[in-house]
Amino acid sequence: MSVLDVEASADGPRMNITWSSPVVAIAISVQVAKSTDMLDTMRHFVLPVVNGITLDLGAGPWFFRVGVWSGSPQAGSIAWSGIYGPLTLPTPKMSVGARPSAISVLHTQAITRGVRIHTGIHTPYYAIIDVSKGTDGMGAGTTKTQYAYDTGRGFFDIVGLDPAHTYNFKIFSFQESPSELPTDSIKQLGSGVVSSQKRPARYMPARDSSVSTSNKAEDTMLKDLARQSRLTFSSHAEYVKYISAKARTSEEKLL
């Protein structure tokens, strides 16, 4: 659900934006830019679930939209309002873009109906991701926005993707305190980093780690016994395990 009743006005050199917030939301995003595709001099602010914001941006002209974080604190999507504006502010102040995000893409990995982004960052952080298909650009009209929380594993997942398409990602993080959503303040995202033409996997079967570990133990046992000139077993259970392991390896050779 997106916000309703979005309005904006000039308060001297500042821009006031107000809206009606939904009852349930994780956070609110406000995006401003000098173009309707929300790319020129784009700034992205995240705030608690409130009904307005005042921004000191420079003269403009400014276009803007408001988004609702929907999901859990760990992952979800941002539902954007329509794009409003332009609004020009009576100020000689020059507008500037955002500082770079403290995030980079080391490599990507296809997962089932998604892509895993490896950042190498081993402290917690939020990632906010604009997603577009194929040869589409990264403008507001062709992108959808997700967010994900990495607990410090060094990667996060972009999910809900169709393996029939390739995707482009523009990834942002907070300029300060990247692991914390705002509770009583406004936080700004840095500029984004782009990863292009990535395709999700159709299906990747989950590996049963317990079975894999058991098979490795059996393989080690077979190798140890193969070195003996005469087979001896400490118990009937060990003999049964040996017969089972031999049967498994024989079946695998037939496949």
DSSP labels, 95-109? P--PPBPS----EEE
Q: Are 87 and 106 part of one and the same domain?
A: no
SS3 category, 214: helix
The one-letter amino acid code at 178 reads P
Classify 253 as helix, strand or coil. helix
Can you tell me the distance from the alpha carbon of 9 to that of 21, in angstroms, rounded to the nearest whole number?
Answer: 18
Contact call for residues 195 and 105 (beta carbons, < 8 A): yes
- Domain-terminating residue out of 45, 72, 95: 95
What is the CB-side half-sphere exposure of residue 81 using CA atoms within 13 A? Answer: 25
Range of the domain at 71: 1-95
3-state helix, strand, coil in the chain (%, to 5): 15, 40, 45
The CA angle 178-180-4, to the nearest 5 degrees, is 105
Q: Which amino acid is at 226?
A: A
pTM comes to: 0.77
In this structure, are 11 and 90 located in the same domain? yes
CATH number at residue 86: 2.60.40.10
Domain check: are 21 and 83 in the same one?
A: yes
d(CA 226, CA 241): 15
On whether both 144 and 111 belong to a single domain, the answer is: yes
Q: Are residues 225 and 249 in the same domain?
A: yes
- Per-residue model confidence as pLDDT tens for the chain (255 residues): 789 999 999 988 899 999 998 778 999 999 999 999 999 999 999 999 999 999 999 888 999 999 999 999 999 999 999 999 999 988 888 877 788 888 999 999 999 999 999 999 999 999 999 999 988 999 999 999 999 999 999 999 999 999 999 999 999 999 989 999 999 999 999 999 999 999 999 876 555 554 455 566 767 767 776 777 677 777 666 766 666 666 555 544 433
Rounded distance, CA 186 to CA 124, Å? 19
Tell me, yes or no, whether 172 and 233 share the same domain.
no
Chain mean position to CA 90: 37
pLDDT at position 234, please?
Answer: 72
C-alpha to C-alpha distance for 183 and 21, rounded to whole angstroms: 15
Mark which of 95, 122, 152 sits at the end of a domain.
95
Angstrom distance (rounded) from CA 161 to CA 140: 18
Judgement on whether residues 128 and 174 belong to the same structural domain of the protein:
yes
For residues 195 and 149, state if they share a domain: yes
Domain limit, last residue, from 44, 62, 95: 95
Structure tokens at 72: 């859990």
Task: State the CB neighbour count (10 A cutoff) for residue 64.
Answer: 24
Number of domains the chain contains: 3
Asked whether residue 127 falls in the same domain as residue 173, the answer is yes
Please state whether the peptide bond connecting residue 86 to the residue before it is cis, i.e. omega within 30 degrees of 0.
Answer: yes
Q: Are residues 21 and 115 in the same domain?
A: no
Within this chain, do residues 83 and 121 fall inside the same structural domain, yes or no?
Answer: no
Do 6 and 77 belong together in one domain?
yes
Angle CA(4)–CA(168)–CA(118) in degrees, nearest 5? 105
